[in-house]
């Protein structure tokens, strides 16, 4: 279930947005001020951030932009219709969905669904990037270990590669662990 942070200085009917039939289910946490929301965003993880502008301590556009920059949450910013165009230019550039008030419930739900889907895709991409970064780091470490074997033991690159693979297989460890052991042995 998605966690949602709702920031609104006025009563905001979250049951209509997240209730049965909405298509978006969330564990909702609420607050009234932007500074409080920023503290919550820095210490907790949310899949959705909904800002109902204006807030007690600021308009809410800056909060939406900050949340979009600092988190991978889907951001929906509700603003008065007369502020829509001005707000859209700034908030949409940061990655927030801007909705003019008043709006129909179905439209608000659709925007939340889009934001939640976008956040899910972004989180999936973040995991993929982290996995790829981990693999690149492993390849770099194994390549450094091969270079060390070539330098200190006179192995060819192919022989160093086979040595690391065989050590990993024989000791039931992965190549990274074997490479790190080689580096500890010869680089110290």
Is there a contact between 76 and 118 (Cβ–Cβ < 8 Å)? no
Tell me the longest C-alpha to C-alpha distance in the chain: 74
Per-domain boundaries in the chain: 2-123, 130-187
> pLDDT tens-digit profile of 85-105?
999 989 989 999 999 999 998
As given in the structure block, the two tokens for residue 18 are 């997240």
Query: What's residue 40's pLDDT?
Result: 94
CA 30 to chain centre: 21
Question: What's the whole-number mean pLDDT along residues 95-119?
Answer: 91
Confidence of residue 163 (pLDDT cuts 50, 70, 90): very high
Query: What's residue 17's pLDDT?
Result: 75
Question: What's the whole-number mean pLDDT along residues 155-159?
Answer: 95
Q: How far apart are CA 33 and CA 8, in angstroms?
A: 7
3-state DSSP call for residue 74? strand
Query: What's residue 105's pLDDT?
Result: 87
Nearest to 135 by CA among 157, 149, 127: 127
Q: How far apart are CA 126 and CA 25, in angstroms?
A: 22
Q: How far apart are CA 25 and CA 60, in angstroms?
A: 24
> pLDDT tens-digit profile of 47-95?
999 999 999 999 999 999 999 999 999 999 999 999 999 999 899 899 9
Reported as type and span, the H/E element at residue 179 is: helix 175-187
The number of residues in the chain equals 188
Reported as type and span, the H/E element at residue 105 is: helix 105-153
Name the pTM for this structure: 0.75
Count other Cβ atoms within 10 Å, centred on residue 61.
Answer: 25
Confidence of residue 21 (pLDDT cuts 50, 70, 90): low
* Better-predicted residue by pLDDT, 147 or 23: 147
Q: Which CATH architecture has domain 130-187?
A: Orthogonal Bundle (1.10)
Tell me which DSSP letter residue 28 carries.
E
Confidence of residue 23 (pLDDT cuts 50, 70, 90): low
As given in the structure block, the two tokens for residue 99 are 């909705």
* CATH classification code of 2-123: 3.40.50.2300
Question: What's the whole-number mean pLDDT along residues 3-7?
Answer: 91
Query: What's residue 15's pLDDT?
Result: 73
**Beta-sheet pairing, 74-80 with 97-101:** parallel
Place of tokens 């693979």: 165
């Amino acid at each position: 279930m998605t966690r949602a942070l709702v920031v609104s200085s006025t009563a905001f009917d979250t049951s209509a947005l997240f209730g049965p039939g909405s298509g978006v289910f969330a564990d909702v946490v609420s607050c009234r001020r932007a500074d409080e929301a920023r503290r919550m965003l820095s210490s907790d993880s949310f899949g959705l951030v909904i800002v109902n502008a204006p807030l007690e301590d600021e308009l809410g556009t800056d909060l939406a932009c900050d949340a979009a920059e600092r988190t991978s949450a889907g951001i929906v910013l509700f603003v008065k219709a007369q502020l829509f165009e001005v707000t859209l230019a700034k908030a949409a550039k940061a990655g927030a969905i801007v909705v003019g008030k008043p709006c129909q419930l179905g439209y608000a739900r659709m925007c939340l669904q889009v934001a939640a889907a976008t956040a899910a895709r972004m989180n999936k991409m973040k995991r993929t990037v982290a996995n790829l970064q981990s693999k690149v780091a492993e390849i770099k470490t194994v390549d450094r270990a091969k270079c060390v074997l070539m330098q200190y033991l006179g192995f060819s690159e192919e022989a160093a590669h086979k040595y690391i693979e065989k050590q990993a297989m024989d000791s039931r460890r992965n190549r990274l662990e074997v490479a790190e052991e080689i580096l500890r042995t010869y680089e110290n």
